[in-house]
Amino acid sequence: MTEDTVQMAKVAELPQWEEFVNMVENEVSQKSTDGPIGYAVYHKYSKTC
Amino acid sequence: MPDKQFILRNIDEVHFEVTAQCNLKCKYCYAEPYEAGSKDNFMRIDTVKKTIDLLSEYSQKQHIEIIFHGGEPLLQNPTWFDECCNYVTEKFTLKNKNYSFGLQTNNILLNTEFIEVFLKHNINVGVSLDGTEKIHNQFRGGFNKTIKNIKLLENSKLFSGVISVISHHNFDKISEIFQEFYNQGFSHFSINIASAVGNGQFSEPLSAEQIFNIYEQDYINLLKYDGKIVEFRLIERIRRHFEAPDKENILTQLRCDNPFCHAGSNMIFIKVNEDLFPCGSAGSSGKIENFKLGNLSEPLSKQDYYTVLKRFHQKTDKYIMECQNCKAKYFCEHGCPAFDFTDPITTENKCIANKQFVNFLNKEPKENINKLLSYKL
């Protein structure tokens, strides 16, 4: 561990790629938010210009 | 389940490349320069209809977001948008699906004919604006028309807000940007730090120090303006840093700024030639053939689609070994699969700046952080 990293007190972890893939490839419909995202929300996080 | 049905079951957002052509040549644009003289420059209405037919049939989502992107979408005729939106309305109404429309533009070509169509279909419009007239015209151009037409959008209640791209022309002018947007009467905007991709691939990536200064000045101005004008993106990232979302929360909020984004799993990007990509960035810059998921005119293969998509979202050893233990892991956006392929340096510089900024944040008075997180977004 470098000096730029610290042990987080919280148990929360970042998801791993395998977990993401498992969710994306799961037969069942994803649990992602199913409601109007709205352009204003998309717009907030977009990396396009 | 047929391959097509499986692939499209979770799609709730589709971006159409209305045209690859643009009336500007922004120096940092993430898209490759448009080749003058290319054939089939504009999306055919049939392409939109074909996409809507597929989503109408196979998406299990109740609400579908349709976004018109470019190039510059306003190079297309207003009647094209009207016909597309009429079709969406007809098809999705029959299937009892909800839907909404968005469009991203430099706003120079907006006119009352567009407004009429946009009002009819409630198309929300986001505008690209980089700051003051001098800043904006340095890398983009057309400031006065863009501003004048924002007023048209505001009067019609169609204005979604401003994306401000931060690059070499304005990384040290964050205060001026806040002041300008406040003077213009905007309540919010969103900054987007440019990667050296597409048209900007030969420019020098912003350094870690420059990126840290962007964060710091953004933070200082957010406090200074006391919620009267809000830059969304930094606030959301600061919120995530202090609230430390769990894995499930991250995986169910797939967005551009998350460790895993929604490209290809919840959203698709359709190019003029009917090629299908995970997102507009993946389909517009870099070696785009690496990320092509299929073509609307060909059978969609589940195996091919997920082979490409998994590669697109593949994480580096650094993510596995270092990021889990990093103090900035929630503040960090963990790069962009589409851009990092061409420009890994900006993401590395952001990594350094993120750690520095999290150190800065952790020393800030709690009342400042709470004040900032209380702003209405």
- Tell me the pLDDT band of A8, cut-offs 50, 70 and 90: very low
Residue among B302, B325, B329, B362 with most chain A CBs within 10 A, to mutate: B325
A9 interfacial to chain B (CB closer than 8 Å): no
User: Does residue B351 fall inside a structural domain?
Assistant: no
pLDDT at residue B37, rounded to an integer: 58
Of the candidates A15, A34, A43, the beta carbon closest to that of B161 is on A43
- Judge: A46–B192 Cβ closer than 8 Å, yes or no: yes
User: Does residue B278 fall inside a structural domain?
Assistant: yes
Angle B182-B148-B83 from CA coordinates, rounded to 5° = 115
Please write the tens of the pLDDT for every residue from B214-241. Answer: 999 999 999 999 999 999 899 999 999 9
Of the candidates B102, B232, B252, the beta carbon closest to that of A33 is on B252
Of A1, A48, A12, the closest CA to residue B190 belongs to A48
ipTM of the complex: 0.82
Q: Distance between terminal CA atoms of chain A?
A: 36
Helix, strand, coil share of chain B (percent; to 5): 45, 15, 40
Strand partners, B125: B103, B159
User: Does residue B90 fall inside a structural domain?
Assistant: yes
pLDDT at residue B287, rounded to an integer: 79
Four-residue CA torsion sign, B2, B3, B8, B10? positive
Residues 81-140 of B with CB under 8 A from A: 98, 100-104, 124-126, 128
Residue B111 phi, psi dihedral angles, 5° rounding: -145, 180
Structure-model confidence comparison of residues A36 and B35, the more confident one: B35
- Expressed as residue numbers, the domain containing B16 is 3-313
Distance from CA of B118 to the nearest CA of A (A): 13
The CATH number of whichever domain residue B180 belongs to comes to 3.20.20.70
B146 interfacial to chain A (CB closer than 8 Å): no
User: Does residue B279 fall inside a structural domain?
Assistant: yes
- Judge: A2–B322 Cβ closer than 8 Å, yes or no: yes
Distance in angstroms (rounded) separating the CA atoms of residues B75 and B89: 23
- Judge: B265–A24 Cβ closer than 8 Å, yes or no: yes
User: Considering only alpha carbons, which residue of chain A is nearest residue B356?
Assistant: A4
Distance in angstroms (rounded) separating the CA atoms of residues B373 and B270: 36
**Residue B195 region by backbone torsions, left for phi larger than 0, else alpha for psi between -120 and 50, else beta:** beta
Query: Could you tell me the pTM of the whole model?
Result: 0.92
Please write the tens of the pLDDT for every residue from B150-162. Answer: 999 999 999 999 9
Low-confidence residues in chain B, pLDDT < 50: none
Q: How many domains does chain B have?
A: 1
- Judge: B12–A27 Cβ closer than 8 Å, yes or no: no
Percent of chain A with pLDDT over 70: 35
Token pair recorded at residue B16: 């159409």
